Structure 1
Amino acid sequence: MPDTALAAATTASNTSLRSFLHGLPGVDEVGARARAADLSTRSIKTSAKAQAIDLAIRMVDLTTLEGADTPGKVRALAGKAVHPDPADPSAPRVAAVCVYSDLVAVAVEALAGSGVGVASVATAFPSGRAPLEAKLVDTRRAVADGASEIDMVIDRGAFLAGDYLKVHEEIVAVKEACGSAHLKVILETGELATYDNVRRASWLAMRAGADFIKTSTGKVSPAATLPVTLVMLEAVRDFRAETGRQIGVKPAGGIRTTKDAIKNLVLVNEVAGEDWLDPEWFRLGASSLLNDLLMQRTKLTTGVYPGPDYYTLD
């Protein structure tokens, strides 16, 4: 449900929402970039690196969002999600498999009893440009088919035009349609133009009931940059301090290597804190990342670095 403090004070009109969102502290863009760059240089020793790799694997939302997706591809991805490295049963499973809504039932059947969640992009992914009624039908279908998580996209056009109330009301409506499924709200930060807008969109989504805020669809560049993720981590940290409610963060798009993943984990620890270092509160949306994590894991455990064709392609 939307935060009650906002309901009376800031959702009556666009004017009151604008007053609240534009009253948030501005982002020091130079400072955000500098801090993200500094944290990205932190080194991690071998034992800690092994733990970080396993944690990153457990945080992966293994994703396929292509027009050519088939039930067979989804089943293969589900198998990989449960047993990422068939030669090493100690490799942890991923957090979830993310697919289009019409393939949710296939993923749910393939993952039954595995503990791996099923996430579905809905609400006219990736553009977010569709009537609310269509977005709600898409969401309800995915939930009815067994999705445990819904990744919705906001209407960036409405947000950039200052129609904050429309964005807020759509998130509230989709959250209600989710029922018990968690709602991840995709901001598509590459289209928001400024870090101030990223902070405002983060707070708007959280106040409207998001369980997670997510950087990107992966279809727009730039996607999950470290400075943007830093701004969003600051937002969830400050939101919990104000409301007592913890919200997750999911960077997605462009995270391809183990180095990328570990940089994100360092960012989480230093900006939001250890409470977010858990798949319940931090996810990595990716398709190719898992293979690199597995290659690095094998190198640490065996001393041999396998080639990229050692694992199945995602």
Structure 2
Amino acid sequence: MPALTSPGATGDLSDVTASDATLRRFLHGLPGVDQVGAEARAASLGTRSIKTTAKAQAIDLAIRMVDLTTLEGQDTPGKVRALASKAMRPDPTDATCPATAAVCVYPDLVGVAKQQLGDSGVNVAAVAAAVPRGRAPLDIKLADTRDAVAAGADEIDMVIDRGAFLTGRYLQVFEEIVAVRGACERPGGGEPAHLKVIFETGELQTYDNVRRASWLAMLAGAHFIKTSTGKVQPAATLPVTLVMLEAVRDYREATGQMVGVKPAGGIRTTKDAVKYLVMVNEVVGADWLDPDWFRFGASTLLNDLLMQRSKLATGRYSGPDYVTID
């Protein structure tokens, strides 16, 4: 680990981002990731089993961590309203079933989601800043973000410019994240929208790059770091998430600040979700076992969580019409 100043605010690391050279030196001075070791540890954690009572708790926690997502060209206001209703009452037959963390939509549908969700406590997340490609002038990315925030978005999910990152233009990526975070401020004041920074890890090529991107985003003020848009494969994987969890753990040790982690794309089953929760507990600890600090970006995962929840409660699987098809 490169030498860091004493724990405190992110400003303690301001010298790291003083220039492209200092930022490059810092990021390339991070310890390299042992690919074989990371994959072996992730595989080992993925074999852990939990007992029935703990499984029931894990399912409810996973439901509370879901960002219920629709990001299709054919999205309509009606589809978003239905998704928002499902987020508030995932199982209409069981009032004890918790709500999801958020509904994630394109910026032009934020107002629809916000109106439907009302004061339910379910957040509205909007992808912005030219998601999924990240290929647009900065002023367009900032306008996209401001529009979503003005429409009521509680959270903004942006994606980094992978072309800039992979060619070593780290300061450009850093400054863009800082600018988007600034665009998350509310025009009339109040709490700004929280910023999730997506790496599109399937395009970053190495675990070392995932670690560097994690630190880069955290230095720039990300509230969450996120694996993927779900539009590129591979998306979320256990080893990639392990590397990101290690980064947020080390960042808190260096600065005293917590940053959330969001794996997204390809997490479809309760078994998958439990593997991630076990990893969170083992790598960063119980502090991150909270929707404020860990999320699942998913569309179909919630359906399986509801099916497994019903199975634990009744002892049998429900019929195919038990959950809605998103």
State TM-score, norm by structure 2. Answer: 0.95
Q: 8 Å contact 1:239–1:246 — kept in the other structure?
A: yes
Instruction: Pick one of 78, 81, 87 that aligns with 1:81.
Output: 87
Give the structure 2 partner of residue 42 of structure 1: 48
Give 5+ residue unaligned stretches, structure 2. Answer: 1-8, 186-191
Tell whether 2:254 aligns with 1:242. yes
- Please state how far the C-alpha of 1:270 moved relative to its aligned partner: 0.2
Instruction: Pick one of 100, 113, 116 that aligns with 1:110.
Output: 116
- Please state how far the C-alpha of 1:309 moved relative to its aligned partner: 3.1
Superposition pairs of residues 186-205 of structure 1, within 5 angstroms:
186-205=198-217
- Please state how far the C-alpha of 1:16 moved relative to its aligned partner: 1.3
- Please state how far the C-alpha of 1:10 moved relative to its aligned partner: 2.3
Note the aligned Cα RMSD (angstroms). Answer: 0.8
Give the structure 2 partner of residue 130 of structure 1: 136
How many Å separate the matches in 1 of 2:67 and 2:258?
Answer: 20
How many Å separate the matches in 1 of 2:226 and 2:321?
Answer: 30
**One-letter identity of the residue aligned with 2:221:** G
CA deviation vs aligned residue, 1:255-276 (integer Å, no higher than 9, x gap): 0000000000000000011100
How many Å separate the matches in 2 of 1:203 and 1:57?
Answer: 28
Q: How many residues align?
A: 312
- Please state how far the C-alpha of 1:170 moved relative to its aligned partner: 0.3
Q: 8 Å contact 1:187–1:215 — kept in the other structure?
A: yes
**One-letter identity of the residue aligned with 1:113:** D
Give the structure 2 partner of residue 226 of structure 1: 238
Q: 8 Å contact 1:239–1:245 — kept in the other structure?
A: yes
How many Å separate the matches in 2 of 1:123 and 1:94?
Answer: 24
- Please state how far the C-alpha of 1:15 moved relative to its aligned partner: 1.4
Give the structure 1 partner of residue 291 of structure 2: 279
Give SS of 1:310's match: coil
Give the structure 1 partner of residue 13 of structure 2: 6
**One-letter identity of the residue aligned with 1:119:** A
Q: 8 Å contact 1:295–1:308 — kept in the other structure?
A: no
How many Å separate the matches in 2 of 1:65 and 1:308?
Answer: 24
Give SS of 1:309's match: coil
How many Å separate the matches in 2 of 1:197 and 1:5?
Answer: 23
How many Å separate the matches in 2 of 1:176 and 1:273?
Answer: 30
How many Å separate the matches in 2 of 1:237 and 1:255?
Answer: 23
Give SS of 1:150's match: strand
Give the structure 2 partner of residue 261 of structure 1: 273
Q: 8 Å contact 1:291–1:308 — kept in the other structure?
A: no
How many Å separate the matches in 1 of 2:18 and 2:97?
Answer: 50
CA deviation vs aligned residue, 1:133-154 (integer Å, no higher than 9, x gap): 0000000000000000000000
Give SS of 2:103's match: strand
Give the structure 1 partner of residue 163 of structure 2: 157
% identical equivalent positions? 75
Instruction: Pick one of 72, 78, 83 that aligns with 1:72.
Output: 78
Question: Which consecutive segments of 4 or more residues in structure 1 shift more than 3 A?
Answer: none
Give 5+ residue unaligned stretches, structure 1. Answer: none
Give SS of 2:321's match: helix
Give SS of 2:132's match: coil
State TM-score, norm by structure 1. Answer: 0.98
Tell whether 2:37 aligns with 1:25. no
